[in-house]
Amino acid sequence: MPAPCACPIPAPARCWRWWLPCRPTSRPASTSSALPKAAPARHSSPSKTIKLRHHSAAFRRLVVGSRWGRITPRNLRSAPRSPMSHLRLAVFDVDGTLVDSQHNIVSAMTEAWSNLNLGIPRPEQVRRIIGLSLVDACAVLLPWATPAVHRAVADSYKEAFRAMRLLPDTMEPLFPGVKEALDRLESQGWLLGLATGKSRRGVDSMLEAHDLEGRFVTIQTADDNPSKPNPAMLRRAAADCGLDLHEIVMIGDTAYDMAMAAAARSAAVGVSWGYHSLDELRRAGAQVVLDTFENLTEVLDKVTGDMAHHQAGDGE
């Protein structure tokens, strides 16, 4: 911690910003310990606002980069090995990557079409659009329909899915090895995140059902972001954690996930058990396609190392 400065504000009042360099005051030194009655207004100019934002970003990066910034209620028992270890973020897709939700999605979409007298969609068509935000998915399924119809189908789908979630036999099971893979990544100091076409309500329900609450430091959903493959989800995840995009790996099962990572210039790792083929994943930018989560940590170490080397080469 830097040595105390000559700032006239008492230490308890400024302890929250100990990391900010205080400017020498232009006031003559006073023998009185009384504070001035009115402090000067903060953010009095655009330049000061920009500097404050810069300092805030530096502080966020400092805290997230510390050992305490990485600890969440669920991973206290597996704190990183070294507070100085390099931070990296593993961002997971949800449907088709962590949980097998295809049956629920196909059922809800079928009911939505039926409610609007649109016929019955083919299951393979519905599986193709898993990963997109809902309205975008409806537009792909119904290219001839108007945007108003796309929104109506999306609303009907949400109602059907909410009703389905209340049924006792409705499940979205985790794929094998998911929890063990998350444990291993956390034990190696990785930050965990989600980037999904689900709504935040759907994500929260999934996390609660599988006892995964508190494990993900950033959660990007369709509620607050454009649909994949727009890279906005990864950019916001990077900003949340104070990381650069080349320090992020996207893990997903669709070409939308791989294309999003490519657009963000982040590493991309595909999984073979989801809803798009291996060829589609590789064509969209997957550097590796996994058949199991068993070696996930080693693969992520390699691809982030490759990205760092590539980034260094670009900077030369």
Rounded to whole angstroms, the Cα distance separating 289 from 277 reads 10
Active-site hit among 95, 136, 253, 257: 95
User: What are the tokens at 30?
Assistant: 């006073």
Task: Judge whether 95 counts as a catalytic residue.
Answer: yes
3-class SS letters over the chain: CCCCCCCCCCHHHHHHHCCCCCCCCCCCCCCCCCCCCCCCCCCCCHHHHHHHHHHHHHHHHHHHHCCHHHCCCCCHHHCCCCCCCCCCEEEECCECCCECCHHHHHHHHHHHHHHCCCCCCCHHHHHHCECECHHHHHHHHCCCCCHHHHHHHHHHHHHHHHHHHCCCCCCCCECCCHHHHHHHHHHCCCEEEEECCCCHHHHHHHHHHCCCCCCCCEEECCCCCCCCCCCHHHHHHHHHHCCCHHHEEEEECCHHHHHHHHHHCCEEEEECCCCCCHHHHHHHCCCEEECCCCCHHHHHHHHHHHHHHHHHHHHC
Averaged over successive runs of 10 residues, the pLDDT of the chain (316 residues) comes to 48 40 43 45 42 44 43 42 66 97 95 96 95 96 96 96 86 95 96 96 94 97 96 97 95 98 97 96 97 95 75 56
In this structure, are residues 199 and 220 in contact, taking their beta carbons and an 8 Å threshold? no
- This prediction has a pTM of 0.72
Looking at residue 241, its amino acid is C
Residue 123 contacts by C-beta under 8 Å, 6 or more apart in sequence? 106
pLDDT of residue 20: 42
Active-site hit among 93, 136, 253, 257: 93
pLDDT of residue 23: 43
Task: Judge whether 183 counts as a catalytic residue.
Answer: no
